[in-house]
Amino acid sequence: KKDSMDSGVAGLRDQHLNSNNKSCSGCTDTDSSEIEVSSGKTTYLKGKFLGKGGFAHVHELVDLSTRIVYAGKIIPKNRITKPHHIQKIAREISIHRNLVHKNVVRLHHFFEDNANAYIVLENCSRKSLFHVLKHRYSVTEPEARYYLRQLVEGVKYIHSQKVIHRDLKPGNMLLSEDMVVKLGDFGLATLVDGNKKVSICGTPNYIAPEVLNKLSYSYEADVWAIGCILYAMLVGQPPFETASLKETYSRIVNNKYTIPLTVSENGRKLIRQLLQPLPENRILVEKINGHDFFKNVYTPDTLSPLCCYTAPAFN
């Protein structure tokens, strides 16, 4: 309902997360590309379009006082027509705002005006692993270890905060200017409250069998998705992808996939441990970065942005 949105997204009005709170003073929204968005104290200049999500369009937002560039998820209020939409956004913000880690996109500021809600995020200027795989198809094993290691650090952290992401996939592994992996999009995330979850959500290709089978599930569903992501990085497509959703689901619940022999033996071993059909048999997230896949082999500490487009020559 519009009323509840106007009185703040479920009470989350103007949350400046690392400075003083101030109430909004409005926004001058026109079609010009240089729009100033103001939340009382902070004024942002709306710049380049970065991407589109469910309700949101994402633009660069430049803080005019510091010149720091953020990614602003802008959610038009006239698109939020149902109370559960408001709840969903409020939930995303209330979960995301408490997460502070190098491998998680930082939620810097949340505010709203009459027209929009604004989620001001750490900017990830190199897009995401999805874009890397789009250009590269697959990546080398040292690069896969680089991305995997940081994905796992991010997931270990959010799990320690009792958060299940539930939609881990290459498109939600954002990349900062210096190619650091940042987990993003907490739109489907949930807080673990002791009761295991039963609702179905996630992205078809990366969804865990216990979620599809409507069984209770927990943190292990994220570990399954990590397995699908590692497979996709090394093979070029996710393990259960087919032209039909029904067939994909059937393959997931029957654990039907093959790993090409181009993948190293330890790579194949780790994928199998991540894609265990029973969640209790899956490798623990804490153990992934100590797996043999990482032993006595090279894992880069940094990656050149050129790796978004071409395979590096490690030497």
Residues interacting with ligand ADP, by CB under 6 A? Answer: 50-56, 58, 71, 105, 121-124, 127, 171, 174, 184-185, 187
181, exposed or middle or buried, with CB in 10 Å at 0-12, 13-18, 19+?
buried
Cα separation, 85 vs 87, whole angstroms: 5
Written as six digits, the tokens of 305 are 């942005």
Nearer to ligand ADP, 69 or 223 (CB): 69
Look up 167 and say whether it is catalytic.
Answer: yes
Closest distance between ligand ADP and the C-beta of residue 128, in Å? Answer: 6
Nearer to ligand ADP, 56 or 221 (CB): 56
The answer to whether the annotation marks 73 as part of a ligand binding site is yes
Nearer to ligand ADP, 105 or 139 (CB): 105
Closest distance between ligand ADP and the C-beta of residue 56, in Å? Answer: 4
| Selected catalytic residue, list 167, 193, 292, 301 | 167
Cα separation, 24 vs 111, whole angstroms: 7
Alpha-carbon 208 to chain mean position: 17
Closest distance between ligand ADP and the C-beta of residue 91, in Å? Answer: 12
Nearer to ligand ADP, 121 or 288 (CB): 121
The three-point CA angle 152-143-260 to 5° equals 95
Closest distance between ligand ADP and the C-beta of residue 137, in Å? Answer: 19
**Cβ-closest residue to ligand ADP?**
53
Helix (H) / strand (E) element for 149: namely helix 141-160
3-state secondary structure of 213: coil
Residues 103/180, Cβ–Cβ less than 8 Å: yes
- Whose CA is closest to 64, among 80, 52, 47? 47
Per the annotation, where are the binding residues for ATP?
73
Active-site residue numbers? 167
